[in-house]
Amino acid sequence: MTDSVLVVDVQNALGDDDNEKPPSAARLKNWARIAYSQVSTTPSELTLRLVDEAEMVELNANYRGKDGSTNVLSFPVENEFDFIAGAQAEGEVMPALLGDIVICHAVIRREASEQNKAPDNHYAHMVTHGVLHLCGYDHIDDTSAHQMESLEAKILAHSCIENPYT
């Protein structure tokens, strides 16, 4: 395990023909670690997958029953086993599996343009948003939405990114 409490596996499922490249894996990992460090100190691991619009449409239909694409989906893992306790018996600290975050590159680029935001800033926001969902935050009602949005703004400020909700 690395020095960080969060291990992030980045999967880039985008083709090479896209002219607008996503942020580097290092930047994506850094944003995820910053977000996670604000809500937990438990060693964990997540996968962050960058996909094209066709894959996101399929995921959105299969897992949310919704037509069309979306910017980010989060898939938390329901840990049935105590991975950390089992690893500690062997003298190691193994991360718990937190879940997967899937980000649609085309939607992020399009939304950033429509909202006059820097694409990397919008990526940072969606990574942060996804991490918070994996950690149990949601925006299902006004109170939880306000709490989550406030936390996102605070986390993004660590990377000198303006509040995306203002």
Domain boundaries, the chain: 6-157
Using DSSP's 3-state secondary structure scheme, residue 76 falls into strand
Average pLDDT across the chain, whole number:
89
| Stretch 93-110: mean pLDDT | 90
Residues 6+ away with beta carbon under 8 Å from 14: 22, 50, 51, 52, 105
pTM: 0.88
Residues 6+ away with beta carbon under 8 Å from 8: 28, 29, 32, 33, 45, 46, 47, 48
The predicted pLDDT at position 3 comes to 55
Of 1.10.3330.10, 3.30.420.40, 2.60.40.1890, 3.40.390.30, the CATH number of 6-157 is: 3.40.390.30
Instruction: List, as own/partner pairs, every contact residues 151-157 make where C-beta atoms lie below 8 angstroms and the sequence separation is at least 24, other chains included.
Output: 151/38, 151/39, 152/125, 152/128, 154/38, 155/34, 155/35, 155/38, 155/128, 156/121, 156/124, 156/125, 156/128
pLDDT in tens, 118-137: 999 999 999 999 999 999 99
Query: What single-letter amino acid sits at 30?
Result: N
The predicted pLDDT at position 58 comes to 97
